[in-house]
Amino acid sequence: MTQQTCILLCNGLKGLEIHNDAQELKKEITFLVLFKAVNSLIKIDGIDEEFINDVYQRIRTMNNLTDSAKQHFDSQRDRYKNEMTNPQILQRIIRDYNPTYYRDVVMKQLDNAKNDDNDRTSSISMKSQSSYRNLDKTQIHISKIDLDYPFTLVDIEMKIYNQEYECDEDIVTDMLKIMRIINQKNDIFIMKRYDSTVKRRTFDILSDDAAQKKLSKAKWDGFRKKNLKLWSLFQECAGVFRLRDISFISDDKDVFSIFQGWKHKQLEEINMNSIQLYLDLIKDVIAANDNHIYEYILNWISFIIQHPGVKSRVALVIRGVQGTGKNTFTDVLCDLMAGYSCKNITDIEEITGNFNSVIENKSLIVLNELKNFTEQSALNSNALKSVITDDLQRINEKFVARRDSQNVANLIFISNNYCPVKIEATDRRYLVCQTPDAHRHNFEHFDKIHQAIKQADFYDNLLTFFMKRDISQANLQVI
């Protein structure tokens, strides 16, 4: 199976009824068969993980999932993530369950690709009047890259294959919806993609080589010349993609702003009942029923939410035995800041070592399961202090030139050990919390909290709570 056939078949994953139950394929489409077939597409030249993630997003949003399928989508995807069958299974699914599309689109275009290449080339040549011309810049429309708009590189590739574009200028217009180039000593590319781990679209920062590799996969006989690639098209008009600089958040139209708002929505009114159990977890467990610490933690979180891109310059250190609710606390915060957070880093060297790109453009980073600092040979305490307080960091990524980047990271350390970080007597960079184990084996208690978190309005209400909290009199440097 070719990349073009793969794209064409995936385009047919629309309006299908999909089940969670493991029935035979001849009876219904189930996750067991579908997910293994989708995973096997990685075997095809030109298909990468980004394409696979976009196919999963298409399955979730453009088909009719049963209630059970909706509930178990993520768990089943994780269950089958390392299992594959054969890409031909996907063709069988489209043939049997979307027969009209298969007959009128798939078979027709496959036949055309096989038998009518000369006719198609002739048609394109006539449309372009058999002559090369430069791009008409007046026909290229520049728009802001919108993370809420479900459009990525995969959509452009599908439109190219389905011959939906009327001119090359329309392709450039769509490319401007997903990418920019930033004017630096070593230029970097910004490209939008769907991240299935946080269930939203995010930005990738790419080197020149990485961007060229991505944009060289789709080829077509263009309206002005043959065998054209997106990379070649970009090179013809790189100026319209270029911005002067990049920042985590900026109102300057010539500076690319990474932050485009939190994933969840602020409400007019707060339903306190929906978030009270989580707030109780913070007070009873994380703050150990100390009201002063509880209020400080709420102010600390509110500061990050209300002032994206501004550092608190204080890290939380949460100690306690397993099963006390530490991870429940941090997992919710990371989901609240999805796209701008990183949870469960277990190797502190990822932020203080030679390769530290994980901290870039992250408002919240959670370091989990840390050993005592005396057992961490890679721990660089001075580098850690810099990450907590400094506004600028030198980012080093494998195979990419080093670059200076705005540091917006706020850190939470979680450990079952007594001293996960080295803290000097006069150091005011840390708030240390010791969690009690009163609810450690109370599974019913934590089940109620987890059920509350799963409610549809939980995150919107929690975001609203932190956004509306008055922190005008709070001083985070006073611990």
Q: Using one digit for the tens of pLDDT, what is the confidence trace for 21-64? A: 766 556 789 988 899 999 999 988 888 888 899 899 999 999 99
Domain 272-468 class, CATH top level: alpha beta
Which pLDDT score is estimated for 128? 39
Which pLDDT score is estimated for 6? 85
Residue 454 Cα distances to 18, 108, 274, 431, 444, angstroms = 23, 45, 10, 29, 15
C-alpha distance across the termini of the chain, in Å: 62
Residue with tokens 């990485």: 210
Residue 93 Cα distances to 8, 29, 85, 183, 233, angstroms = 13, 7, 13, 46, 35
Which pLDDT score is estimated for 124? 41
Residue with tokens 């102010």: 299
Q: Quick one: 474 exposed, middle or buried, by C-beta within 10 A (0-12, 13-18, 19+)?
A: middle
For CA atoms 412, 417, 422, 427, the dihedral sign is positive
Which pLDDT score is estimated for 104? 84
pLDDT tens figures, 301-349: 999 999 999 999 999 999 988 888 999 999 999 999 999 999 888 888 8
Backbone torsions φ then ψ of 315, nearest 5 degrees: -110, 145
| Helix ranges (DSSP H) in 240-378 | 272-281, 291-306, 326-336, 349-352
Which pLDDT score is estimated for 284? 95
Prediction pTM value:
0.71
Which pLDDT score is estimated for 465? 98
Looking at the chain, the domain(s) classified CATH 3.40.50.300 span 272-468
The low-confidence residues of the chain, meaning pLDDT below 70, are 22-26, 112-133, 222-225, 371-380, 399
Let me know: does 341 contact 202? Beta carbons within 8 Å: no
Report the run of H or E that residue 26 belongs to, with start and end: none
Which pLDDT score is estimated for 12? 86
